[in-house]
Chains A and B, each alone.
Chain A
Amino acid sequence: MTGLELALAAFALMLLAIFLRVPIGVAMAVTGFVGTWMVLGRPSATLSQLKTLTYDTFKNYNLSIVPLFLLMGQFATKSGMSGALFQAASDWLGHRKGGVAMAAVGACAGFGAVCGSSLATASTMGQVALPEMRKRGYSDALSTGVLAAGGTLGILIPPSIILVIYAILAQQNIVKMFVAALIPGILAALGYMLTVAIYVRVRPGSATTAERVPMATRMKTLAGIWPVVVIFGLVMGGIAADWDWTQDGVQALFTPTEGAAVGAVLTGLYGVFTGGLTWAGFKDSVLATAGATAMIFFIVWGAQLFNSFLAFTQAPAQLVTWIEASGYAPLMVLTVMLVAYLVFGCVMDSLSMILLTIPIFFPIIQSLDFVILGYALSPEEAAIWFGILALIVVEVGLITPPVGMNLFIINSMARDIPIQRTYVGVAPFVASDLIRVVVLVAFPGITLWLVGVLFGT
């Protein structure tokens, strides 16, 4: 059996195991271990590597961003920020037709700026905004659909756990990835608001309008969101802005890991100050962080074994040669990859998809010459651009049936709404995601412009 055949067979068996509900980290680790054994003819190399591999994976300085951002997100859910954000957004937008749904999108975007997880954003904002929309006579489909979609802003708007993992796998600069995600994230929020506006015109019965709130009240509630602005500004400003103009290059105030620590401490302090983060709340936050952190690190650990097996088979390199020789148009290859993410996203979670595919897809992306509207992307630009596109399409998986975690979370808050109605309600937002992906593919400048401005690449 050639290396490529072995890799393909192993990949197929692993997918089978995953679909039979073997935990994904376990499936990757076992496939990687047995596969490497078959390539080398002995298990001793992997066994000896495992003496240090687990500890070395868990101590990775860049990966330590993940638990710190998770803790920050958990503190944020307890701090009352979600309520302040929704209040401000609905005071400014509520008088429009469908305005409270737009406000929910805006509040999700704001919450996404202090929370790197979609599920936490969906559940926190759902608790605040869902009862309000139902009280005001919004249809079941619109109110659950908009919140499920809005939840994905948690990860589309930096900080973002998935981008950290992508940056580590693809050996890209985490700060540049965060900066690149900013404008596409804002576009996502605006796109969702536009979708609401169109939705309520097509289905006028699905939403209501409210009284216009006087300007003085609006300004007061807007001022209430200052902690989000300050924390996001300090964390992102601290890791991405130039703090010393006298020296060449960008002199950041701190590393992304340090930024995550600052964010966690500030959010925690604010939570304690507002009284939202009690001792019981702290314990809750820790348990939620523990579960999510262990889950993520365990898959990353399994992916390491699987990826070193893939490298031994030389399958990724052969695939690159094959695609180069076949002369497929780069944009077509990219489209196939993005569609694959959309299809698998229907049943798989985003992190597992990124860990499974990036070792195979990324070398291919790097070998292709993307020339779009006469502009040739450098390898680094292509890497950043592809990372953002992949992030968006894997996140669509959170809101596509049959397995869309955000749909389940929102639906579980309103048990009287059949899940089918949530499926219907989220469909226009999925369409908005797809249109945005096409726009970002056609105009890489939208993603790369801010990176160029800040880092001069």
Chain B
Amino acid sequence: MAALAPGAQARVGRMVEAIARIMAYGGGVMLTLIALMVCASIIGRQLDGWLFLSPIRGDYELVEAGTAIAVFAFLPWCQLKRGHVAVDVVVQALPPRLKAFSGLVGDVLLATVAYVIAWRLWLGFGEKFPYGSDAVRGVFGFGSRPFFPETTYELAIPVWMPYGMALIGAVLFFVTAVYTVWRSLNWVLDGQEGMA
């Protein structure tokens, strides 16, 4: 059977890979910055009051928000490389096309889950985002404006900011997952799985 627009799939695939790679690098830089910030904070805490040193205020919540953003940014890369663990010992015994089909089922389910994650995170973002008139908010499905915009404990960072950055990763996770469905479908049509 002929694959579904294999040329276009390859082109889109290269684009998705480039984006997923940039997101993963971005998450890695974020993670590295968190680690450096934590080290600086520990040094500041031990030598508090000496020279200008002091612990970094709100380091705890910076770790939390930073990790969350980084993990969301990592999701597209993992999906593109078929990094999510699955048990393939049973399907290993099946003919290659059936094996490819099991991969397609997995990717369709994963794309559905990725959609739910992004959709609910979008609404969660809307509940924390304190701007916009009711009409504009209605268009985005945000509901009524929150009375108190939620902020973090020490630095009082509005929570919609890290949510918004997480949303980028969640949406790209869904986009990547949709692409992998296309890719798996073509693998089924080809009769065997290619390299992820």
Which A positions have Cβ atoms within 8 angstroms of B?
18-26, 29-30, 47, 50-55, 58-61, 63-64, 67-68, 71, 253-254, 257-258, 260-262, 264-265, 268, 282-283, 285-287, 289-295, 297-299, 347-349, 351-352, 402-403
Nearest CB of A to B144, in Å: 15
Contact check, B121 vs A54: say whether CB atoms are below 8 A apart.
yes
Residue of A whose beta carbon sits closest to that of B76: A294
Q: Which B residues lie within 8 Å of A294 (CB)?
A: 71, 74-75, 77-79, 83-84
Residue of B whose beta carbon sits closest to that of A15: B87
Asked whether any CB of chain A lies closer than 8 Å to the CB of B31, the reply is yes
| 22 A-B interface contacts by CB (under 8 A) | A21-B87, A21-B91, A23-B109, A26-B84, A50-B117, A58-B68, A60-B64, A64-B64, A67-B70, A67-B74, A68-B35, A253-B42, A253-B46, A258-B38, A260-B35, A261-B35, A286-B27, A287-B24, A290-B28, A291-B78, A295-B78, A295-B85
Contact check, A19 vs B87: say whether CB atoms are below 8 A apart.
yes
Contact check, B166 vs A26: say whether CB atoms are below 8 A apart.
no
Contact check, A261 vs B39: say whether CB atoms are below 8 A apart.
yes
Contact check, A18 vs B87: say whether CB atoms are below 8 A apart.
yes
Asked whether any CB of chain A lies closer than 8 Å to the CB of B90, the reply is yes
Interface size class of B (residues with CB under 8 A): 35 or more
Residue of B whose beta carbon sits closest to that of A65: B67
Contact check, A59 vs B67: say whether CB atoms are below 8 A apart.
yes
Q: Which B residues lie within 8 Å of A286 (CB)?
A: 24-25, 27-29, 31
Nearest CB of B to A131, in Å: 26
Contact check, A287 vs B86: say whether CB atoms are below 8 A apart.
no
Q: Beyond A26-B113, A261-B34, A291-B78, is A51–B21 a contact (Cβ under 8 Å)?
A: no
Q: Beyond A26-B106, A286-B24, A289-B31, is A21–B90 a contact (Cβ under 8 Å)?
A: yes
Contact check, B124 vs A291: say whether CB atoms are below 8 A apart.
no
Q: Which B residues lie within 8 Å of A68 (CB)?
A: 31, 34-35
Q: Which B residues lie within 8 Å of A59 (CB)?
A: 64-65, 67-68, 162
Contact check, B120 vs A51: say whether CB atoms are below 8 A apart.
yes
Contact check, A58 vs B71: say whether CB atoms are below 8 A apart.
yes
Q: Which A residues lie within 8 Å of B77 (CB)?
A: 287, 290-291, 294
Contact check, A30 vs B109: say whether CB atoms are below 8 A apart.
yes
Contact check, B106 vs A290: say whether CB atoms are below 8 A apart.
no
Contact check, A29 vs B120: say whether CB atoms are below 8 A apart.
no
Q: Which A residues lie within 8 Å of B71 (CB)?
A: 58, 67, 293-294, 297
Contact of A26 among B27, B102, B110 (CB under 8 A): B110
Contact of B27 among A24, A290, A352 (CB under 8 A): A290
Contact of A262 among B24, B38, B60 (CB under 8 A): B38
Q: Beyond A26-B110, A54-B170, A67-B71, is A20–B91 a contact (Cβ under 8 Å)?
A: yes
Query: CA A20 – CA B104 in complex, angstroms?
Result: 11
Asked whether any CB of chain A lies closer than 8 Å to the CB of B127, the reply is yes
Per-residue contact bits, chain B 105-141, to A (CB 8 Å; 1 contact, 0 not):
1100110010011001101100100000000000000
Contact check, A55 vs B166: say whether CB atoms are below 8 A apart.
yes
Q: Beyond A295-B84, A298-B78, is A257–B63 a contact (Cβ under 8 Å)?
A: yes
Asked whether any CB of chain A lies closer than 8 Å to the CB of B195, the reply is no
Dominant secondary structure at the B interface: helix
Query: CA A26 – CA B84 in complex, angstroms?
Result: 9
Residue of A whose beta carbon sits closest to that of B24: A290
Asked whether any CB of chain A lies closer than 8 Å to the CB of B187, the reply is no
Residue of B whose beta carbon sits closest to that of A405: B85
Apart from A21-B106, A55-B163, A61-B64, list 17 A-B contacts with CB within 8 A: A18-B87, A20-B90, A20-B105, A22-B105, A22-B106, A23-B110, A51-B120, A54-B121, A55-B68, A55-B162, A287-B77, A291-B83, A293-B71, A293-B78, A295-B78, A351-B85, A402-B89
Nearest CB of A to B122, in Å: 9
Contact check, B60 vs A61: say whether CB atoms are below 8 A apart.
yes
Contact check, A58 vs B72: say whether CB atoms are below 8 A apart.
yes
Among A58, A60, A68, A262, residue most surrounded by chain B Cβ atoms (within 10 Å): A58
Query: CA A25 – CA B78 in complex, angstroms?
Result: 13
Residue of A whose beta carbon sits closest to that of B23: A290
Contact check, B31 vs A21: say whether CB atoms are below 8 A apart.
no
Contact check, A283 vs B25: say whether CB atoms are below 8 A apart.
yes
Contact check, B38 vs A257: say whether CB atoms are below 8 A apart.
yes
Query: CA A24 – CA B166 in complex, angstroms?
Result: 23
Among B24, B85, B91, B103, residue most surrounded by chain A Cβ atoms (within 10 Å): B85
Nearest CB of B to A60, in Å: 8
Asked whether any CB of chain A lies closer than 8 Å to the CB of B14, the reply is no
Contact check, A298 vs B68: say whether CB atoms are below 8 A apart.
no
Q: Which B residues lie within 8 Å of A47 (CB)?
A: 120
Contact of B67 among A58, A258, A348 (CB under 8 A): A58
Query: CA A19 – CA B74 in complex, angstroms?
Result: 26
Query: CA A293 – CA B75 in complex, angstroms?
Result: 8
Q: Which A residues lie within 8 Å of B25 (CB)?
A: 283, 286-287
Q: Which A residues lie within 8 Å of B60 (CB)?
A: 61
Nearest CB of A to B53, in Å: 16
Q: Beyond A30-B109, A261-B39, is A21–B24 a contact (Cβ under 8 Å)?
A: no
Query: CA A449 – CA B162 in complex, angstroms?
Result: 43
Contact of B127 among A51, A254, A291 (CB under 8 A): A51
Q: Beyond A50-B120, A63-B67, is A21–B166 a contact (Cβ under 8 Å)?
A: no
Contact check, B35 vs A71: say whether CB atoms are below 8 A apart.
yes
Q: Which B residues lie within 8 Å of A19 (CB)?
A: 87, 89-90
Q: Which B residues lie within 8 Å of A257 (CB)?
A: 38, 63
Query: CA A60 – CA B68 in complex, angstroms?
Result: 8
Residue of A whose beta carbon sits closest to that of B110: A26
Nearest CB of B to A260, in Å: 8
